[in-house]
Amino acid sequence: MEFEQAWLDYTKKASCKGSEDIKYICVKTRGEEQDELIKNGILELQRAFAGILGIELTVCQNLGEGHGICLTLTEGIQTEAYHVYENKGEITIEASDSKGILYGAFELIRQVRIGNPLGGLDLFKAPKMPMRMLNHWDNMDGSIERGYSGESFFFKQDRILVDERTVTYARLTASVGINAVVINNVNVKDAATWLITERYLDKVKELSDIFAGYGIKLYMSLNYAAPIELGELDSADPLSEDVRGWWKRQMELVFNRVPNLGGFLIKADSEGRPGPFTYGRTHADGANMLAEAAAPYGGKIIWRCFVYNCQQDWRDYKTDRARSGYDNFKGLDGEFLDNVILQIKNGPMDFQVREPVHPLFGGMTQTNQMLEVQIAQEYTGQQRHLCYLIPMFKEVLKFRTYVQEQDDTVEDIVSGRTFGQHNCGMAAVANTGDDANWTGHDMAAANWYGFGRLAFEPELSAEEIAKEWIRLTFGIDKQVEETLLFMLMTSWKAYEEYTSPLGIGWMVNPNYHYGPSVDGYEYSRWGTYHRADHMGIGVDRSREGTGYALLYNEPNASVYDDKEKCPDELLLFFHHIPYTWKLKSGKTVIQHIYDTHFDGVDMVDEMVERFMKLEGILPQKPYLRMVERFTHQKEHAREWRDQINAYFYRKSGISDEKGREIY
Please list the active-site residues: 271, 350, 378
Q: What's the half-sphere exposure (Cβ side, CA atoms, 13 Å) at 496?
A: 21
The 8 Å CB, 24+ separation contacts for 639-642 are 639/515, 639/516, 640/498, 640/499, 640/515, 640/516, 640/597, 640/600, 641/498, 641/597, 641/598, 641/600, 641/601
From the CB of 335, what's the least distance to ligand GCV, in Å? 23
Output 168 or 319, the one with its CB closest to ligand GCV. 319
- Is residue 350 near ligand GCV by the rule CB under 6 A? yes
Task: Using the minimum distance from each CB to ligand GCV, give the nearer residue, 367 or 528.
Answer: 528
Q: ∠603-607-611 over CA atoms, to 5°? A: 170
189 binds ligand GCV (CB under 6 A): no
- The DSSP output letter for 144 is B
* Alpha carbon distance 344, 604 (integer Å): 32
Closer Cβ to ligand GCV, 186 or 261, answer by number: 186
Least distance (Å) between residue 151 CB and ligand GCV = 17
- The span from the CA of 332 to the CA of 165, in Å, is 42
Q: Name the residue nearer to ligand GCV (CB basis): 92 or 184.
A: 184
Q: Does residue 34 belong to the site contacting ligand GCV (CB under 6 A)?
A: no
CB-CB contact of 360 with 463 (8 Å): no
Per-residue string for binding with ligand GCV, 122-141, x by CB under 6 A? ---------------x----
Q: Which neighbouring-strand residues pair with 197?
A: none
CB of 517 to ligand GCV, least distance (A): 15
Cα–Cα distance, 485 to 386 (Å, whole number): 12
Q: Is 283 in the site for ligand GCV (CB under 6 A)?
A: no
Q: How far is the CB of 372 from ligand GCV (least distance, A)?
A: 8
Asked whether position 145 contacts ligand GCV by CB under 6 A, the answer is yes
The reply to whether 166 sits near ligand GCV by the rule CB under 6 A is: no
Tell which one of 78, 143, 187, 235 touches ligand GCV (CB under 6 A).
Answer: 187
- How many Å separate Cα 593 from the centre of its chain? 29
Least Å distance between CB 330 and ligand GCV? Answer: 20
Between 83 and 146, name the residue whose CB sits nearer to ligand GCV.
Answer: 146
- 20 CB contacts (<8 Å, ≥6 apart)? none
Element (H, E) at 624: helix 620-652
321 near ligand GCV (CB under 6 A): no
| 427-457 burial code (b ≥16 CB/10 A, e <16) | bbbbbbbbbebbbbbbbbbbbbbbbbbbbbb
Distance of CA 336 to the CA centre of its chain: 24
In the complex, the smallest distance separating the C-beta of residue 187 from ligand GCV, rounded to whole angstroms, is 5
CB nearer ligand GCV, residue 110 or residue 530: 530
Closer by beta carbon to ligand GCV, 351 or else 573: 351
Rule CB under 6 A: is residue 186 a binding residue for ligand GCV? yes
Element (H, E) at 342: strand 340-345
257 three-class SS = helix
Query: Residue 146 interacts with ligand GCV (CB under 6 A)?
Result: yes
What is the distance between the terminal CA atoms of the chain, rounded to a whole angstrom?
A: 45
Check residue 267 for interaction with ligand GCV (CB under 6 A).
yes
How many chain residues interact with ligand GCV (CB under 6 A)? 9
Which of 154, 219, 306, 573 is the binder for ligand GCV (CB under 6 A)?
A: 306
Q: How far is the CB of 378 from ligand GCV (least distance, A)?
A: 6
Asked if 74 is part of the footprint of ligand GCV (rule: CB under 6 A), the reply reads no
Give 33's DSSP letter.
Answer: P
148 binds ligand GCV (CB under 6 A): no
Interacting residue ranges for ligand GCV, rule: CB under 6 A: 137, 145-146, 186-187, 267, 271, 306, 350
